[in-house]
Structure 1
Amino acid sequence: MNLTKLSVKRPVTIVMVTLIVVLLGVVSLTRLPIDLLPQFSLPIAIVQTQYNGVGPQEIENLVTKPLEQSIGTVSNIENVSSISSEGSSVIIAEFNFGTDMDFASLEMREKVDMIKGFLPEGANDPMVLKIDPNAMPVMEASLSGSDDLSSLQRFAEDELSPRLERLEGVASVNINGGYQKEISVKADLHLLQNYGISMDTLSQIIGAQNMSLPGGTVEKGIQNLTIRTTGEFKDIEEIRNLPITLPTGGTIPLSDVAEVNLENKEVKSISKINGKPSISISVQKQSGTNTVSVSSRINDELEKIQEEFPTRDIKVVIDQADFINLSINTVLKSGALGAVLAMIILFLFLRNIRTTLIVGTAIPVSIIATFSLIYFNGITLNLMTLGGLALGIGMLVDNSIVVLENIYRYRRDGYSKSESAVKGTKEVAMAVTASTLTTVAVFLPIVFVEGITSTIFKELALTVTFSLLASLAVSLTLVPMLSSQILNVDINNEEKSKRKSFILHSFDKGFAKLESIYKRVLSWSLGHRKSTIIIALLVFSLSIASLIPVGAEFIPATDEGQFTVSVNLPVGSELDRTREVVEDVENRLEDMDIIDTVFTTIGSGGAFSMGGSTENQATITGVLKKEREESTFNVAENIREKLSNIAGADINVDVTSNAMGPASMGGAPVSIEIKGQDLDRLEDISEDFVSIIESVEGTREVSSNIGEGIPEVEVDIDSLKASNYGLTTAQIGNAVKSVVSGTTASRYTTEGNEIDIVLKGNDLYSENLENLKNLPINTPMGSQISLEKVADVKIVNGPISINRDSQSRMVTVNSKIQERDLSSVITDIEEKLEDYDLENGYSYEIAGENEQLEEAFGDLGLALVLAIILVYMILASQFESLLHPFTIMFTVPLSIAGGALGLFITNRTVNVTSLIGAIMLIGIVVNNAIVLIDYINTRRKNGEERNLAIKNAGPIRLRPILMTTLTTVLGLLPIAIGLGEGSEIQAPMATVVIGGLLLSTILTLVLIPVMYTVFDDISLKFKK
């Protein structure tokens, strides 16, 4: 090749070009942003509408259905679902992956604007919001100390939050769990009645007295001065002494009819760390920013704040960057170890430090060059890109091994350095180019894969492609140039060094024996072709059969050392009752030494809460110690047993996994959607399904999302009776709200903070139902009546929420799985549900993670078929034959069988990552067959008889084939072992490649020559 000749003739030029490439790569590496996964947006948007005081069925008919029908016409939409609850409609629109969400949300707003004029009067304008998966908190911290929670809250809001929000990359800081102050004005309704004052009048007086207003301008000489009238409250005593004008003309101080105190607002949420009250701090990063760098800046700022305020204790509970750094370090260590193992194999085969170093240059040069390609394509340094490099490390030297081994053979035959470099490279150039193209080609079909699978693995495919193309360039330029300069062959010195080195001598002796065995096996197989093919078929069948007990899942769960305990009490439970249950949970976790930190939030619905009261809910996040032997999954199982006998609460324990991010947002592992129209019948069916699923081995924490009736006090106003007293429904409703809940009459400014002045009746009327019935209502005639005279006060079950999917009502039954794979559990559930008699008009489908699994497997199956076709086309063009490529393609089923055997031996499941490994195998395993068949053809062109050419070519190509196989296998071995954080995702991929490569190599050396003769005979018959 001209390029090779140029490299040999112009070594200085090649060295300079290589140095420039390395320099660009190093600079690119320093500029590459680091993250856990590739950046992408989730194609989901929601439309939220408030219509206060309206039940879910009315919300469904008046708001949700019209909006659903309008939104359903938006382009690229995949599914529309909704939740209609008391006073609220939430519609979730899911789009196809790859949809531009900016344009999609704009089109949604247009459709909503067209329909909002037809929505009922009183309904708020619908809001269209995009869901950003990158908006999840990158850091959760707690603030505690000797001060009370109110002081800590003010410190967090006034000092901590502004300083963090100023940092580059920080989007927002949420503070939760503290006390907020308010001025409580509790009026005595009987005294107000005696003085002839209403609650509305009192609220107006408080608001009117606490004002500062502009008064225009006044001239003073040549100046215009602004006028400002001030009358704001200066202290609480001034509020107590506020003069209240009576209808009779006199005045009384506010304290005569009301108690005025500075109090804490009613607590709606509680945060604790290791059982102690604290303030929770949640930090979100800006979309598209680098998680690691943002986290680093936050940690640096928190350290400064801690030094400035030593009495406050700031503790980072969850930091996403920790797992990212640990995962990336794991991949880097695995890659480095794989490279070292590959170099050792090279040295054992080549027996020369110079030749080893020549081939060894392919690894660092190819990787560093890849960093430049990654940078200029806008790809981040993440678990997928680094995993791609680690997976490719063993393959990076394959081309260089084949080239150098051939150059080395020519040197041993007496050719000069330059001649050996040119002739040796030219002879195998087409073979290594074809083998590289076949490996690269198998990644092209991933472009056609849709959904989260494509988004996550596209960058891995690009990284492997970049690195292999770089290694091809190195093998055809740098390797022959270095060989022409420093490759020395001295057979006498080699023999002396082997005698001196026991390891080299033993290795050569072992290889010679292996070569002798291979010659005999090859000779026998050529003479017993039918027997060889039958043996290969038996091995293939048994290996494929090993997949039966393996099972399948979507993405392997990662052990990140975190777990979450979700506590749900019956709807309507008070915060204090929830706190009691949580304290019981915390006490049971105290004796588990493996737990480092327990972070508790009571009364919070979480990041994706759709609103409503959450005082009955709590979340306990546990962080395990880094130095531990037990897995998080085992710890979670122990916790389930400890908490199993807590009565009156629904408690779920989950292992937290952020590694795949939105990849795991498809719902519970088992999720069955039941559709129909009658809510009562749907509830009955869902209860039956819960019982059926609970009977399946491996299912855990089975539940239905059918809304539980909310106990509430209903004030049913009799409009006829109310009109007799001159009252309207609005007047009565406002009177009840102002007495029980209170109204914010004004705001009091002190020390730069604004505090609500809340006016309400005393607590007497909210203590029990009888007192509420006697709540006094002022009439326009100046008299006072009790509430029960115009309304029926009773306890009822409030309406449930209504879930819809594809414009049909739906109930979902969810389940987690334990100690079984998803595929086998789903199979057992489907068998049991087949016997269930489901009436007409009702249907069910299995969604959740299983739906993602089926979609991903379908897409990857198509990619697998396309990869096989592309590889065949490349082989056909290389060999100028339509028949010979079939010989080589026999390695593909053998490799897939080997991958299946690898999963069986390691007890790993078939999942998305292992299927990606199978696709990679198609491009890798044909390389050995290409090198072998290409050399057989070369010898036949030189005049050798077919069988003789095979018997000579096989042993000669045995060394490079074993070298390339072992370097790839050992390069992947550290990843396949799966040690360290984040390795669970890459390990199945590496396992499939190793298993497939080992089995296919063994059979390639024997079966492919046999198949070559079979197809050659067929070709001769056609020619005749």
Structure 2
Amino acid sequence: RLLRHEPNPGRFVRTVERLVGGLTRAYGRALRATLRVRWLIVLVGLAVAGASVLLFNGMKRELAPVEDRATVVAIFSAPDGASIDYSYRYAQEIERLALSIPEADRVFVVTGSPTVTQGIGFFRLIDWGERDRKVPQIIAELQPKLLGIPGVQAFAVAPASLGQSPRARPVNLVVLSSESYEDIQETLRPLMAELQDDARFQGVDTDLRLNKPELKLRIDRDRAADAGVAVDAIGRALETALGGRQVTRFKRDNEQYDVIVQFAASNRNTPQDISKIFVRGRGDTMMPLSALVRVDEGVSARELNHFGQRRAVTITANLAPGASLGEAVDVLEDLARKHLKPGYAIDYDGQTREFKQSSSTLLITFALALCFIYLVLAAQFESFVDPLIIMFTVPLSMTGALALLQWTGGTLNVYSQIGLITLVGLITKHGILIVEFANQLRDQGQAVLPATIEAARLRLRPILMTTGAMVLGAVPLALATGAGAESRVQIGMVIVGGMTFGTLLTLFVLPTVYTLLTRPRHLLPDHAATSHTGAVAQPGSARMPHTPGAT
């Protein structure tokens, strides 16, 4: 019923038909005019295609856009050696700051995770429709307040868009070397200083910290032997008094309890408390441990990490508002070349590693998509030239997609890359319609120029219908709001800009390229009799210059 021909269409249908008919006639006249200056149109097409390269190189790059998930994560760390009470005191201050945000709904702060000196907080915001500010704006307000807290290093981040750990920071540079950790720290000192002075980085930190308080107990073995105290007895005494030792269990009311012997917390806080520990010597004499050992205070590394079986130091940082991960990676690589000595190497971890991998595979994926489409078209048209003519529309659409993406503040990320690859298949459909129909008209004996004009004019309506359907279908993505809208907008902008701009240029550039590159066709048997007399005359063909090689 929907596809049934209506002999008496309504006013709306007649109006649309008149508009489309007028547009088709105007397009035919414009195409005839452009085909008189074909090389100028080719130059315009090449210039637009070259602009896509400039836009691609000038785009900001990142793994994924920061999404508004109505959650802010605050990560803080206290000085090495701080107690859990110290960390908890500052965690309460961070909690008060979070509750002062008007958009805050619930706040949950954990102290001592994953270590005593570290913690994490989750700030849940009210619904998207009930607030005017987005997560990045709230973080921009909260970050200076967190940096102003003395005693801890705290910063706020948005949860990663692709499901990484909430502790994951966007910038992760791994420095590899075989030198000692002390030498690595000295080598990285000027690099860290420049990163901290760079406004594009926030909260620059490293996992190499050679400042953790440490006590070294040196046993006087001669004195211990004279006193009849074994070395292992000294070790057990220290373990029991400071770390605790389970000595037995007992049951009460069907419940089993462990009995742990340990000094009270107030008696094991300072190095001087070691003098309160006694060990049993010869003749059951109780001797103070301070008479048998010497306590030396010093510092050591909090942790010593390896990456790829080499000593490794990881430098992490957050990105300032407006900075992209691609810019950060370029800065890191420049600083590495400037400061790292021979024998050092760099690698990436976390989001930075995923970004590098996705960036390196984009060109390969794009090239494979073009190659696959070319092979399919070559098999369909039984020609190696026609697919090249059709695929000339791809860089035209890329210019429109990248231009709109950059104008709206978008970036090159996994979502916009998906949109670009999808655009390759969508835009080539226009070329298929024009080239296929032009080939059919030429097989019937028409010359190249009249056949090209007629094919483009007759295929205008399905081309506009395809473009309209795709653009209107992508508009909701481009104008999306709410949860995850930042990612959907990227895909929508690419499709809207690429299809709109690419279609406009395809209607003029592709027919021009077709008339210049197409090869002679074999006439169908029914029209072979006319091949010796030339092409069949078409309206307007007498005014068009004849293309060499046309049948």
Residue pair 2:278, 2:287 contacting (<8 A) in 1 also: yes
1:634 aligns with 2:137: yes
Query: Which of 951, 965, 968 is equivalent to 2:470?
Result: 968
In the TM superposition, residue 788 of structure 1 has moved relative to its aligned partner by 1.3
In the TM superposition, residue 932 of structure 1 has moved relative to its aligned partner by 1.6
Q: Which residue of 2 aligns with 1:530?
A: 39
1:620 aligns with 2:121: yes
TM-aligned CA distance change 1:866 to 1:778, over 3 Å: same
- CA deviation digits over 1:795-844, x for unaligned, max 9? 332454322223322222222112111222333444455443x4343344
In the TM superposition, residue 752 of structure 1 has moved relative to its aligned partner by 4.7
Which one-letter code corresponds to 1:546 in the other structure? L
Which one-letter code corresponds to 1:649 in the other structure? V
Query: Which of 224, 246, 252 is equivalent to 1:722?
Result: 224
Residue pair 1:822, 1:850 contacting (<8 A) in 2 also: yes
TM-aligned CA distance change 1:937 to 1:774, over 3 Å: closer
TM-aligned CA distance change 1:893 to 1:764, over 3 Å: closer
Residue pair 1:674, 1:686 contacting (<8 A) in 2 also: no
Q: Which residue of 1 aligns with 2:319?
A: 817
Which one-letter code corresponds to 1:980 in the other structure? G
Give secondary structure in 1 for the equivalent of 2:121.
Answer: strand
Please give the residue correspondences for 1:158-307 in structure 2 after superposition, counting only pairs within 5 Å: none
Gaps of 5+ in 1: 1-353, 356-486, 606-613
Query: Which of 668, 675, 678 is equivalent to 2:180?
Result: 678
* C-alpha separation in 1, matches of 2:113 and 2:50: 54
* C-alpha separation in 1, matches of 2:242 and 2:331: 54
Residue pair 1:976, 1:986 contacting (<8 A) in 2 also: yes
TM-aligned CA distance change 1:979 to 1:690, over 3 Å: same
Q: Which residue of 1 aligns with 2:524?
A: none
In the TM superposition, residue 1014 of structure 1 has moved relative to its aligned partner by 0.6
Residue pair 2:170, 2:325 contacting (<8 A) in 1 also: no
Which one-letter code corresponds to 2:437 in the other structure? Y
Which one-letter code corresponds to 1:632 in the other structure? V
TM-aligned CA distance change 1:514 to 1:663, over 3 Å: farther
1:575 aligns with 2:84: yes
Query: Which of 786, 802, 807 is equivalent to 2:288?
Result: 786
Q: Which residue of 2 aligns with 1:1001?
A: 503
Which one-letter code corresponds to 2:4 in the other structure? N
Please give the residue correspondences for 1:78-227 in structure 2 after superposition, counting only pairs within 5 Å: none
TM-aligned CA distance change 1:799 to 1:669, over 3 Å: closer
Q: Which residue of 1 aligns with 2:385?
A: 883
Residue pair 1:664, 1:849 contacting (<8 A) in 2 also: no
* C-alpha separation in 1, matches of 2:549 and 2:454: 27
Residue pair 1:860, 1:916 contacting (<8 A) in 2 also: no
* C-alpha separation in 2, matches of 1:889 and 1:625: 48
Query: Which of 38, 52, 63 is equivalent to 1:554?
Result: 63
* C-alpha separation in 2, matches of 1:1015 and 1:776: 97
* C-alpha separation in 1, matches of 2:248 and 2:266: 24
Give secondary structure in 2 for the equivalent of 1:781.
Answer: helix
Q: TM-score, normalised by structure 1?
A: 0.48
1:772 aligns with 2:274: yes
In the TM superposition, residue 783 of structure 1 has moved relative to its aligned partner by 1.3
Q: Larger RCO: Structure 1 or Structure 2 (Cα < 8 Å, ≥ 6 residues apart)? A: 2
Query: Which of 585, 601, 608 is equivalent to 2:94?
Result: 585
Which range is displaced more, 751-760 or 861-870? 751-760
* C-alpha separation in 2, matches of 1:916 and 1:652: 32
Give secondary structure in 2 for the equivalent of 1:661.
Answer: coil
TM-aligned CA distance change 1:540 to 1:701, over 3 Å: same
Query: Which of 929, 943, 951 is equivalent to 2:453?
Result: 951
TM-aligned CA distance change 1:646 to 1:747, over 3 Å: same
In the TM superposition, residue 538 of structure 1 has moved relative to its aligned partner by 2.7
Please give the residue correspondences for 1:486-497 in structure 2 after superposition, counting only pairs within 5 Å: 487-491=3-7, 493-494=8-9, 497=10
Identity of aligned residues (%): 24
Residue pair 1:555, 1:985 contacting (<8 A) in 2 also: yes
Give secondary structure in 2 for the equivalent of 1:788.
Answer: helix
Residue pair 2:477, 2:489 contacting (<8 A) in 1 also: yes
Q: Which ranges of 4 or more aligned residues in structure 1 deviate by more than 6 Å?
A: 663-666, 1018-1024
* C-alpha separation in 1, matches of 2:332 and 2:226: 62
In the TM superposition, residue 685 of structure 1 has moved relative to its aligned partner by 2.0
Please give the residue correspondences for 1:387-786 in structure 2 after superposition, counting only pairs within 5 Å: 487-491=3-7, 493-494=8-9, 497-498=10-11, 501=12, 504=13, 506-605=15-114, 614-626=115-127, 627-657=130-160, 659-662=161-164, 668-761=170-263, 765-766=267-268, 768-786=270-288
TM-aligned CA distance change 1:664 to 1:572, over 3 Å: closer
1:868 aligns with 2:384: no
Residue pair 2:448, 2:550 contacting (<8 A) in 1 also: no
TM-aligned CA distance change 1:573 to 1:943, over 3 Å: same
Give secondary structure in 1 for the equivalent of 2:4.
Answer: coil
TM-aligned CA distance change 1:515 to 1:947, over 3 Å: same
- CA deviation digits over 1:458-514, x for unaligned, max 9? xxxxxxxxxxxxxxxxxxxxxxxxxxxxx33233x21xx11xx4xx55544433332
In the TM superposition, residue 886 of structure 1 has moved relative to its aligned partner by 1.7
* C-alpha separation in 2, matches of 1:763 and 1:667: 36
* C-alpha separation in 2, matches of 1:942 and 1:566: 73
Give secondary structure in 2 for the equivalent of 1:572.
Answer: coil
Q: Which residue of 1 aligns with 2:535?
A: none
TM-aligned CA distance change 1:978 to 1:545, over 3 Å: farther
Give secondary structure in 1 for the equivalent of 2:518.
Answer: helix
Residue pair 1:666, 1:852 contacting (<8 A) in 2 also: no
TM-aligned CA distance change 1:925 to 1:769, over 3 Å: closer
TM-aligned CA distance change 1:515 to 1:752, over 3 Å: farther
Which one-letter code corresponds to 1:868 in the other structure? L
In the TM superposition, residue 846 of structure 1 has moved relative to its aligned partner by 5.5
TM-aligned CA distance change 1:753 to 1:567, over 3 Å: farther
TM-aligned CA distance change 1:739 to 1:1003, over 3 Å: closer
TM-aligned CA distance change 1:760 to 1:804, over 3 Å: closer
Q: TM-score, normalised by structure 2?
A: 0.87
Residue pair 1:555, 1:912 contacting (<8 A) in 2 also: yes
TM-aligned CA distance change 1:678 to 1:761, over 3 Å: closer
Give secondary structure in 2 for the equivalent of 1:677.
Answer: coil
Q: Which residue of 1 aligns with 2:426?
A: 924
In the TM superposition, residue 700 of structure 1 has moved relative to its aligned partner by 1.0
Q: Which residue of 2 aligns with 1:826?
A: 329
TM-aligned CA distance change 1:754 to 1:959, over 3 Å: same
* C-alpha separation in 2, matches of 1:543 and 1:767: 65
Residue pair 1:717, 1:791 contacting (<8 A) in 2 also: yes
Give secondary structure in 2 for the equivalent of 1:643.
Answer: helix
Residue pair 1:689, 1:813 contacting (<8 A) in 2 also: no
Which one-letter code corresponds to 2:468 in the other structure? L
* C-alpha separation in 2, matches of 1:901 and 1:860: 19
Count of residue correspondences: 523
